[in-house]
Each structure stands twice: as C-alpha cells, then as structure tokens.
Structure 1
Amino acid sequence: MATELDSRTVECHLAEEMGSISLARQATRDALAEWGYRGRGEDVLLVVSELVTNALVHASGGPTLRLTGGSGHIRVEVGDCGEGEPEPRAPGPADGWGLHVIAKLCTSWGTSRHEGGKVVWCELAAPLALAAPTG
C-alpha cells in the first residue's frame, strides 16, 4: 500500500473502490504520526477523504495519493485518469462540501495536468517535527 520515498513523502496507489478512502486515511494517519505532525490532523484527514472521494466519483481508474511534509506545510496530491477539471458546486447535502472544504482548510489548491490525467493538490500549514533522515 504505502511506500516511503524519503523521510517526508509517502505515496499510495489505491484501488478503484470506495474502501480506498479508508486506506488513504490510514496511510495519512501513519505518515502524520511518523513525521511528528503537531497540527490539526483531522483537517488533513478530511482533505484526503474529500480529494480521494472526488477522484473515485468523478474520474476513472484507481487514484494515487501522495503526501509530502515540508518545513511548515503538508502537500496532498491525488492523481487520477480523469480529463475534467474539478469545479466547486453549491455546498450542501445534495452535492456535498468537497472543494469548499478544501478552500477553507488549505492555504492553496489547484490542479496540474499530466499524460493520462490530472493531479488535484492542496497545501495545509503544518507544524512538523521531522526527524533527520537515517542512513
């Protein structure tokens, strides 16, 4: 599931099924604990849930989750095979809260295109206590 790329990056390739939301949340919890995250973990988990859910509902193929912890921020990226750009809808129970939640909780967010799809990314302020890389 999760592959540690360095002391501050985790990447997960998720199946195209709603159960992947729970797996993404657990990988995020594990990364935040390992990195010594001292902020509002619930906010990071909510952002991950929203982005992975959007990828599963509005795109095709299993999404990829990438978390990067840096000095003062956490970057969340969710890649999918969808061609469409995410569009905020009217917030509420019918269409969900999705991108409105992302906009409220994050310092910035956007999309980038890549061959075969897109990545929706966002950044949150993050007090981290990253350990020095070993080896």
Structure 2
Amino acid sequence: MTSTATITRDAPSTSFRFLPRIGLEVAFARSHESGSGAVAPVDQLWPQRMRSVVRAGLSRWELPELIADAELLVTELVTNALRHGRGDVGVRLSFINGHLRIEVCDDSPEVPEPRAAASLDESGRGLFLVQAVADDWGVTNNGMTTWCSLALSPLGRTQ
C-alpha cells in the first residue's frame, strides 16, 4: 500500500509518497519570483521542508547514518534549483546499486557547474559541498536533473 500526504500553501499543492525501500518523490511549484539568481521569500522554506522529508524517509527506512549528509545534499540541490532553474522542482530519493540516489530536477536545460566563490561570498559553494560529501554526482544529459549518491553501507563511505 502506498501512503500519500499532501502539503499545501497559497501556490499549487505539493504531494509526496513513501514507497517502502523503493524511494520517494516530491514535486512543488516555485514562485514566479524565484530564479535568475534569487529565491523568493515564499520559496525560502522549501529546502527546510525537503530536509524534513528526507529525514522522515531515511528514518522510516532505518538509515539514520545517512540523514545528516542527505539533508545537506538535498538542501544544496534544491536551493540551486530554486535560484538558477525554472518551473516546478522535483526531488526523488531512490535506491540503486547499494546507494541512496538523490535527484533534483527543474525545467531548465542549463547544466549547473561549480563556480569559484570568493572568500566573502555568501553563496556559490553548493556544488563544491555536493562534490565533497557525495560519493558521486552529476547532471543528466538534458541538464534538467542534478543527482548525487551516498553509499548505503557505512563500510563503503569515506569519512
């Protein structure tokens, strides 16, 4: 049986499903004010909401050792999607070949690339954090999905 929950706000509704040991998906509509380097005030809570979803899913799947890293990764990828992407944002967690895979997609075909942030910059380090924390990461050929993975076995993780 698939459990479904709905999160609503003033914008279109958001829903997610927990599929035991298969994964979960969340999609939400961004404000038209987010993008082009800015995140609208109404969208600034989405990274926190996605951390809560990730924490709940990993707790349900009895994978507490992945929670901190997965929360950081989803925060960075969702923030990048809100700031630089366009259209709805989707978040997917799945299990592939002994790894938790985190995917964040939007409607922008622009391929995200790490950039060199100056020491006093308040942003610009997200993909460097993803590179540092994730076991692997990349972008799909169409540029619309940025993904990263974490090994499920603590023995497979480098600390």
Q: Report the TM-score range of the alignment, normalised by the length of the smaller protein.
A: 0.7 to 0.9
* Higher CA-based Rg: 2
Q: Which moved more, 1:92-101 or 1:76-85?
A: 92-101
Contact 2:137-2:148 at 8 Å conserved across structures: yes
2: CA distance between counterparts of 1:57 and 1:73?
27
Query: Does residue 70 of structure 2 align to residue 44 of structure 1?
Result: yes
Question: Which structure is higher in strand share?
Answer: 1
Give the structure 2 partner of residue 29 of structure 1.
55
Contact 2:66-2:150 at 8 Å conserved across structures: no
2:124 partner amino acid: G
Query: What is the count of residue pairs matched by the alignment?
Result: 126
Aligned-residue RMSD, C-alpha: 2.0
Seen in structure 2, the aligned counterparts of structure 1 residues 48 and 93 have a Cα distance that, compared at 3 Å, is farther
Which 5+ residue runs of structure 1 have no aligned equivalent? 129-135
Residue identity over aligned pairs, in percent, reads 33
Deviation at 1:43, TM superposition (A): 1.1
The structure with higher relative contact order (CA 8 Å, sep 6+) is 1
TM-score where L is the length of structure 1: 0.83
Which 5+ residue runs of structure 2 have no aligned equivalent? 1-14, 31-42, 155-159
Give the structure 2 partner of residue 57 of structure 1.
83
Q: Which runs of 4+ in 1 moved over 2 A?
A: 4-8, 69-72
Give the structure 2 partner of residue 83 of structure 1.
109
1: CA distance between counterparts of 2:129 and 2:98?
20
1: CA distance between counterparts of 2:64 and 2:52?
17
